[in-house]
Structure 1
């Protein structure tokens, strides 16, 4: 009688990555719809707006870019996107020790899709062996990259017919809240997500979806302050000991 083969370590890693990603993947879909809808109303050429998904791949930055296109200067758009994405500097610093143990090709490819969700999931698995971590990271990276680049075009097509009563503009806030739950082990990341989501919710009524920009900036600042204070307290405790 044949026995069923036990799942390999790689299959377990893939399955775990998929299971972990689902709670953060679900709110990313309506956020993609919001962005796709905003692209159809933007003064940016539709083809150029669509290209921001595979090239920029950063929801809040993309939404700000397509929203203020035509009403702000090129330098103002670039500055806004850089401010919103400045949190990725902290992400890179946190993952740098894990990436040093990886092959060169992964150190080049991995950061391309280092978005909020991938970072949150990667930090939860930072204690894995290099091979397992790489496979886990790549699985989540492909899941979010594929979902995002399907959801945004769908939003461009069916977004205009979705009833306004559905209030999809709150999708980014829901996504920030989900990230906060996953960031509990990383206090600065949790602070950034909570502050960013709360401010975005309070400022949701601002014109041109500026509430998302305000929330993102406040979240980055709050996270940086929390990181600095924790570092200071840790240093003092080490000195006292």
Structure 2
């Protein structure tokens, strides 16, 4: 595959894979936890494998398992999965200016392979919008690493669930491994405000049904971050006006 790419795309693909590599153990841990949970739920082995390959969304997979076990209506399961994944609407809006030149089917494929960490690392590169040589290859370097790590770990969890003790704390290990990456993304005051508000809301809403804490935290973070940006812009505008008045 790499042989068919240009030199720029090959370098960008490898760079994307290298940038993503520090997160592989965390993703592997989460995939293993999700695979184990699916295997120990009401799903059969073929159903669990199909869910892993088609859904590729750990949070929503874990969210709907108790609903499937309780035999709730399918609309409840779908609604819960959609609510948990509302953050991908934001991710799609953030990626749209970068890949709007691509045909629809390629943008759909990009959307399937996108993920939280992929989006975060991609945005940290501060690419210009529109076509940039190597930009799509950089995305695919991360996406391929993420997808392979997730599927391998999830399938291992599904197949070997009976051999892996529940007290290994894999979910906690995966969360702790991702924390440095999330902290490094807090580069502005508005981002810090958004993260703080999201954490507070998610804690307060933790006991709500259908994992509603996650979409509520996302919405609160957007509002808080936007408000913080607006306050900073107004403060900068006042300083500019005051400086102009003093110079006169």
TM over 0.5: yes
TM-score, normalized by length of structure 2?
0.76
Partner of 2:125 in structure 1? 125
In the other structure, the counterpart of 1:32 is 31
Q: What residue in structure 2 maps to residue 221 of structure 1? A: 219
Distance in 1 (CA, whole Å) between partners of 2:42 and 2:53 is 20
Contact kept, 8 Å, 1:191 with 1:223, in 2: the verdict is yes
CA distance in 2 between counterparts of 1:162 and 1:196 reads 31
RMSD of equivalent CA atoms: 3.4
Tell whether the 8 Å contact from 1:28 to 1:148 is kept in structure 2 after alignment.
Answer: yes
Deviation at 1:194, TM superposition (A): 8.8
Partner residue in 2 for 1:138: 140
Paired residue for 1:45?
44
* Cα deviation, residue 199, structure 1: 5.0
Q: What residue is the counterpart of 1:114 in the other structure?
A: 114
CA shift in 2, pair 1:183/1:221, >3 Å: same
Query: Which SS does the other structure have where 1:127 is aligned?
Result: coil
Q: Quick one: distance in 2 between partners of 1:88 and 1:237?
A: 31
CA distance in 2, matches of 1:190, 1:175: 22
5 Å-filtered alignment, 1:185-200, equals 185=187, 188=191, 191-192=194-195, 195=198, 199=202
5 Å-filtered alignment, 1:74-223, equals 74-102=74-102, 105-127=105-127, 130-171=132-173, 173-174=175-176, 177-185=179-187, 188=191, 191-192=194-195, 195=198, 199=202, 213=211, 216-223=214-221
CA contact (8 A) 1:181 1:190 kept: no
Q: Name the stretch that deviates more: 183-192 or 137-146.
A: 183-192
Q: What CA distance in whole angstroms lies between the structure 1 residues aligned with 2:152 and 2:38? A: 14
- Give the CA deviation at 1:166: 1.6
Describe the SS at the equivalent of 2:134: helix
Q: Which runs of 5+ in 2 are unaligned?
A: 1-6, 241-248
Q: Mean Cα displacement is larger for which, 47-56 or 16-25?
A: 47-56
Between 1 and 2, higher relative CO (CA 8 Å, sep ≥ 6) is seen in 2
Post-superposition CA distance 1:129-175 (Å, at most 9, x none): 62211010111111111111111010012232223332123245335
SS of 1:130's equivalent in the other structure is coil
**Rg (Cα) greater in structure:** 2
Number of residue pairs the alignment of both structures matches: 229
TM-score, L = length of structure 1: 0.78
Runs of 4+ in 1 over 6 A off after TM superposition: none
